Amino acid sequence: MGRLIASRRKERGLTQADLAELTGITTESLYYYESGRYWCPLDKLIRIANQCDMALSTFVAPLDDFRVAPHEAPHDHDDPDDFDPDADA
């Protein structure tokens, strides 16, 4: 996300100070967002996207990119039907 913001800001010929002033975000916060140190809150991301003429969807990955590893059962209880939560471990 941060690299996208920085790249688009530079394409538009804006410094961090310029974009910060246009969006009402502190320069320090903008630096943190661009560097990836902090996630940019949605309300601020909307302001940045508007000033950089970017669609908000630019920052959202397709659902196929979000993969969750399946839950692994403990090795002692490979079959969840055999697991007794009240049994002593």
Report the C-alpha gap between 89 and 78 in whole angstroms. Answer: 15
Contact 42, 36 (CB under 8 A): no
pLDDT at residue 87 in the model: 57
Q: Is residue 42 part of a domain?
A: yes
pLDDT of residue 86: 56
Furthest CA-CA distance within the chain: 65
- pLDDT tens for the chain, 89 residues: list them: 889 999 999 999 999 999 999 999 999 999 999 999 998 999 999 999 999 999 888 877 665 555 555 554 444 444 444 445 455 54
pTM: 0.65
- pLDDT value for 65: 55
Domain that holds residue 8: 2-60
> Which H or E run contains 7?
helix 2-11
The domain that holds 40 is classified in CATH as 1.10.260.40
